[in-house]
Amino acid sequence: MAGTLRLGGRTFAPGELVVMAIVNRTPDSFFDRGATFASDSALRAVERAVTEGAEIIDIGGVKAGPGDEVDVAEEIRRTVDTIAAVRTAFPDVVISIDTWRAEVAVEAVAAGADLLNDTWSGADPALARVAAATGAGLVCSHAGGLAPRTRPHRAAFDDVVADVVATVTGLAERAVALGVRPDGILIDPAHDFGKNTRQSLEITRRLAELTDTGWPLLVALSNKDFIGETLDLPVPDRLEGTLAATAVSAWLGARVFRAHQVRQTRRVLDMIASIRGDRPPTLTRRGLA
Catalytic positions, please? 224, 258
Question: Do 47 and 154 contact (CB within 8 A), yes or no?
Answer: no
Q: How far apart are the C-alpha atoms of 237 and 227, rounded to whole Å?
A: 10
Query: Taking the CB of residue 180, how many other CB atoms lie within 10 A of it?
Result: 25
Which of these, 213, 217, 242, lies nearest to 227 by C-alpha position? Answer: 242
Write down how long the chain is. 289
Q: Residue 104 half-sphere exposure, CB side, CA atoms within 13 Å?
A: 28
If phi > 0 it is left, if psi is from -120 to 50 it is alpha, else beta; for residue 97 that is beta
β partners of residue 259: 21
Q: What is the DSSP letter of 227?
A: H
